[in-house]
Structure 1
């Protein structure tokens, strides 16, 4: 294998994006979870929801910061390592990235300060609105990033050539490319599942130590409820996304399923050992006709195999095939865990089953692994193109030497290894301490006069007996 600038640039981008996607896939779901917690607290005045909010907002702050840092570093590579791609596609996808910054990141950053530090400075209504807007900002960010990536997967609404550059002629078709709706839904649901699994794992860990902790019991029930609903829904959305792949990227679909021959009644390979050299599989564990039924919706449908495409146009089969099965396998495990938890909750035993709680802890990282596996399928399966059918990856790389790329890759490995390891360990330590670690923090003011929700201060904020002030109470 020749470690030239192209291969090293691909390794570097894969490394940085794998690190980066960990944090947005968590913070997108966590921001929405925080909005739900604060809304429930304002509605019910149940202190459990407030305690959970105060705990998880700290985790969100750290994860959000790490996501921003890793995202900035990743975006620089478009200019340093992929300058030809930037020059060719910049007029089309450049505005999409700009919209993401203006419409999403500025929204998140503007209200994040109020969300984190505004407990004593604004009323509960304004604070809740800030939390909701931060959650909306994370979803808006996902909208624009998935829009840009989906255009690269199934380009539309553009004109021009690689030699003269591409330009948008229909922005609606650029933004809402053919595969965009299903891919956006797939990513957002994946983020909600990732968050639910982390919350369930942290709560189950605490309950294994203290089965009477009400905050962890409540968080576990909420997480399992999300898992039981969203995991089966994700399976359906994933199937719709797979149908899009068949229509717009048939070579990727053939790699996902390790189909080599074009035929009707394709078998579904549960497991196989694909080999590009022999243009076939060394062995297969298959179900007859199921491949055509799953991919095309009919057991008698004809599905193209990899031999229908020139060897230089085929994606790396082995990586795509097994990454897809890892993602789907974890998805099925999530469905099973959600149904198991729902059954235990119905029986009133969700906090008293050590086996289930240990399973929740073990499944904690599953969402991150599934998300990374899904992106491997999407990005490696698109090869050899960076813009599918338009610009090949080998033609998109910057004219730099292998030495320069290897030096930056080594620097990334060292810095990321130190900084993000420390951050991850700190988050894990917080999760192990549990929600009661933040129970002594000051909550947003309760039972205020009507004007307080609009930001008006009480008449005598220093007097504990002033109207609208909560009576002092002992700490937990």
Structure 2
């Protein structure tokens, strides 16, 4: 593969977005959870929720800052590396990114300071309102980003005038059926990422026998939320697969590593797709299952890559493996969360150390699923940057040279390495120290008592019940 400006620009964009997206994916879910925890504190009056909130607020602040700083480069690249794309679709992309600034950033900038510094300076109700507005702002930000990306995946509601793509129907662009599937899919991915991280942190503290009251809240809430959300994510994932089948059949064939059209079509569980030879190595397949998954019919004919011209076929290896990695992470989250809730029901959740280790080690599943899902969507879209309208090679700035991109890519990698090392190490320090700052150990004799979900808030002050419950 020749490292020309197009390939290098794609590598640069992939590097920047991969580094950036892990922070918004985490903070979106964390902001919503913080608002929920603050609401529970107001409702119950229990200060354990305050303690947990204050701890995760620090993690949220650092992650939010990292997301903002790493995201600045994303818009910058449209002008430096993708000038032709900006010129051709600027009348659609520009307003969508502008709406993000006027809505999402406005909410976040207005209320983030209140959330971070206003705990003792504003009424409790207004502080809770500020937390909700920050959570809403993070979700609105993802809405406009997904509207832009979904239009590039399935362009609708536009006209082409003198080579430029201009909007004709904003409602179709912003609220099209594809967008209304992909945005909930992304939101749920963010919520699951945060929920698994919170549960893993609680399991880590319990394994170390520290911060047990707060750890119980984290573990019980994290596993409960994951168990409730993962079936919804599977449903929206299925809907996302149907839109790919309908609107991007070449991508669907690449995800399935289906080189020839088949009737009935088998489902390739795992293989090593060989692009040069057009076949799968070491394949494990299930006959007929591919037809049923795609069409609900065990004998239907399914389109293969041979139905498309060679120049219109996407790479196969990354979409094929990326999709299976994403599904695998989802199945791990499903297994951990549901098993955890069974153990909680049996009263053995906090004493089953092998499960606590499994929960702790599963903390990166959400991040891996988000990244592999984006790789599947973006690489599977190739060779188009605006599907069916603008090819990737025609979207790069014409005057760009190989040395230009090599320099910028090297600088970005160095800056992000320094920024990431400091940011991630500081987040680790916060997580290591825990809610109380010091790791106070609790004797095992008192730590082995099983704890119901409703009891997690009764240990803020040595287990004293809240007065409202005494009534």
- Normalising by structure 2, what TM-score? 0.91
Q: Which residue of 2 aligns with 1:249?
A: 248
In 2, distance between residues paired with 1:10 and 1:438?
45
Matches within 5 A, 1:165-180: 165-180=164-179
Tell me if structure 1 keeps the 8 A contact 2:265–2:290.
yes
Q: C-alpha offsets along residues 197-232 of structure 1, whole Å, 9 cap, x if unaligned?
A: 110111111111116711111111000001111112
1:215 is matched with 214
Partner in structure 1 of residue 422 of structure 2: 422
Q: What does the per-residue CA deviation read over 1:378-413, in whole Å, with 9 as the maximum and x for residues that have no partner?
A: 000000000000000000001211101100100011
Contact 2:211–2:436 (Cα < 8 Å) also in 1:
no
**Deviation (angstroms), 1:433:** 1.5
| Further displaced range: 10-19 or 292-301 | 292-301
The CA distance in 2 between the partners of 1:328 and 1:302, in whole Å, is 24
Q: Does 1:83 align with 2:62?
A: no
The SS at the match of 2:436 is helix
**Paired residue secondary structure (2:349):** coil
CA contact (8 A) 2:205 2:211 kept: no
Rounded to whole Å, the distance in 2 between the matches of 1:418 and 1:93 is: 31
- Provide the secondary structure at the position in 2 that maps to 1:261: coil
Structure 1 segment 61-210 matched on structure 2, within 5 A: 61-160=61-160, 164-210=163-209
Q: Aligned residues, how many? A: 440
User: Deviation digits for residues 34-62 of structure 1, max 9, x if unmatched?
Assistant: 00000000000111111000000111000
Is the Cα–Cα contact under 8 Å of residues 184 and 236 in structure 2 kept in the other structure?
yes
Contact 2:259-2:304 at 8 Å conserved across structures: yes
Equivalents in 2 of 1:388, 1:414: separation in Å? 33
Any stretches of 5+ residues in structure 2 without a counterpart?
A: 440-460, 463-471
Q: How much does 1:176 deviate? A: 2.0
SS at match of 2:271: strand
- Quick one: distance in 2 between partners of 1:16 and 1:438? 36
Over the residues paired in the alignment, what is the CA RMSD in angstroms?
Answer: 1.5
Deviation, structure 1 residue 437:
2.3
Which sits farther off after the overlay, 351-360 or 210-219? 210-219
Counterpart CA distance in 1 for 2:108 and 2:152 is 26
Q: Give the C-alpha shift of residue 74 in structure 1.
A: 1.5
Inter-partner Cα distance in structure 1 for 2:418 and 2:297: 51
SS of structure 2 residue aligned to 1:435: coil
Q: Over residues 263-306 of structure 1, what are the superposed CA-to-partner deviations in whole Å (9 max), with x where a residue is unaligned?
A: 22211111012122212212310111111111222222221100
Q: Scaled by the length of structure 1, what TM-score is found?
A: 0.90
Q: Residue in 2 aligned with 1:346?
A: 345
Per-residue deviation, residues 107-138 of structure 1 (Å, max 9, x unmatched): 11110000000011101011000000000111
Report the counterpart of residue 321 of structure 1 in structure 2. Answer: 320
**Structure 1 position 438, deviation (Å):** 9.2
